[in-house]
Amino acid sequence: MVLLFEAKKANPNGDPDAENMPRIQPNTLKGLVTDVCLKRKIRNFFSIYKTNGDLKDSLEDGYDIFIKENAILQQLMEAKPIEDLAKAIFVEKYSQKIESWDAKKTKKAKGKKEDAKTDDNTEKQEEINPAEEKKQESYRDALCKTYFDLRAFGGVISTEGPLKGSFYGQVRGPIQFSFAESLDKVLQLDSTITRCCSTSKKEVEQSKKQSEGDEKTGGNRTMGRKYNIDYGLYRAHIYFSPAFAAKTRFTYFDLDNFLFAMTHMFTDDPSSNRSGMRVVGLVDFQHSRPLGNEHAHKLFDMVKVEKKDKDKEFPDSINDYWGNALKSNINDEIMANQIIWDIPLKEDKAKNV
C-alpha cells in the first residue's frame, strides 16, 4: 500500500531528543514521521470507534487494543477472560485434555558429557512437555484473537506473564509501516507562547520574586514554545504478509477494517499543533497469490507524485503537486484499489496510466 498525507501548519511527529521539534532527515531536511507514530493513529481509532464507525461504548470482540496508554501488559495477558479463551483453544483447536493445562516441564535423565550426543556441558537438560507447548500456542492465539493491534502489527509478549521467555511470545504481525518522509524539504517554525495563570501558590511566590525590580515583568506569566512545519506532503509504504496473517489469524474482514481506519486516521487526532493533517492518497495493491505477482518496489514506483515547479524550494499546499491516477487493473493478476486520491492530476497525464 502507498499512503500519502499532508501536514499544514502542524507538527506531524515531534522528536523528544530535539525538544519536540518536527523530525527531519539531517542531510536532506525532509520531514520524517516514524512507523510507530502511524500505527498509533490506527490504535487510537479502534480505541474510540467500532468497525462500523459507531462510537465504542463497550468492547467489540477482537478489536480491543493491547498497546495503550497506562496499560500494564502482564495484567492484560493474565486476565481471566484471556485464560478462559486460551483454555478453550487448548481443548478445541489443539485437541488437548484440560487436565494437561498445568503440565510441567519434564527433565531428561542425568548423564555425563561423554554419554550425550551434544557438546553441551550441562548435565541436566529440560524439554518442554508437548501439552505445555500447546498451552503457549493457545495463549498466543487468545491474545491475537482479542487484540487487533497484536493481530495486525505483532509485538513482544514474552517479557512477563504466561509467555515469559517463550518462542510464541515473539509475534510477527502481517502489517508493517515504513517511516513516512516528505517529498521535499520542510520549513520548521518556532513560536513562543505564554501562560497567564499559575499551577500553584508556590509558583506565584517564585514569580513575584523573579519580577521584583522589573516593572515590565508582571502577573504569573510563564513562557513556552511550539514547533511545527509550514507544509509537508509525506509518503509512507505499507507492507502486508499473507504468511504472517495466517499465523495471527488476520482476516479479510480485519483488512477491510484496517483500510477503513486508514481513511480516518487523523479524524480524531487534531490538536493545536496537528489540526492541518489529512490523508490525501491511499492505494492498495492486491495480488492473486500469497507470494505476490510483482515486487513491491515496482508497484510503488507506479504511484507518482511530483512537484509542479521544480524551482520552488518549499511547497506550501497540495496544489504545488501533481500525481497520476491508476487503472483498477494493473494486469490480470494485480489490482490497484485507489481508495483515496485528492492530489491534482496533470492535464496532459490525467488519463489512466
* pLDDT tens column, 177-201: 999 999 999 998 888 888 777 778 8
Residue pair 323/303 in contact (Cβ under 8 Å)? The answer is yes
Q: Give percent above pLDDT 90 in the chain.
A: 63
Confidence of residue 280 (pLDDT cuts 50, 70, 90): very high
Does residue 270 register a pLDDT over 80? Answer: no
Q: How confident is the model at residue 128 (pLDDT cuts 50, 70, 90)?
A: low
pLDDT 10s digits, 154-178:
999 998 889 999 999 999 999 999 9
Angle at 352 between CA 348 and CA 353, to 5 degrees: 85
CA dist., res. 339 & res. 3, Å (int): 10
Q: What is the mean pLDDT of residues 115-132?
A: 58
Q: Which of these ranges, 13-27, 32-46, 210-224, has the smallest mean pLDDT?
A: 210-224
What is the average per-residue pLDDT within 316-330? 89
Each residue's pLDDT tens digit, 50-101? 999 999 888 888 999 999 988 899 999 999 999 999 999 999 999 998 988 8
pLDDT at 116: 47
Best CA proximity match to 192, nearest among 222, 212, 165: 222
CB 266 within 8 A of CB 10: no
* Contacts of 294-297 spanning 24+ positions with Cβ under 8 A: 294/330, 294/334, 296/237, 296/239
pLDDT of residue 306: 94
- What would the pLDDT profile of 216-253 be if each residue is shown by its tens digit? 545 566 777 889 999 999 999 999 999 999 999 999 99
How many helices and strands in the chain, by DSSP H and E? 9, 16
Residue with cell 486516521: 265
Mean pLDDT score across all residues of the chain: 86
E-strand ranges in 271-320 read: 277-287, 305-307
Where are the strands (E) in the chain, listed by range? 2-10, 14-15, 21-22, 30-33, 106-107, 126-127, 154-156, 170-172, 175-177, 180-185, 188-195, 222-240, 277-287, 305-307, 321-323, 334-341
The C-alpha cell 494485480 sits at 334
Query: Cα angle at 128 between 112 and 99, to 5 degrees?
Result: 130
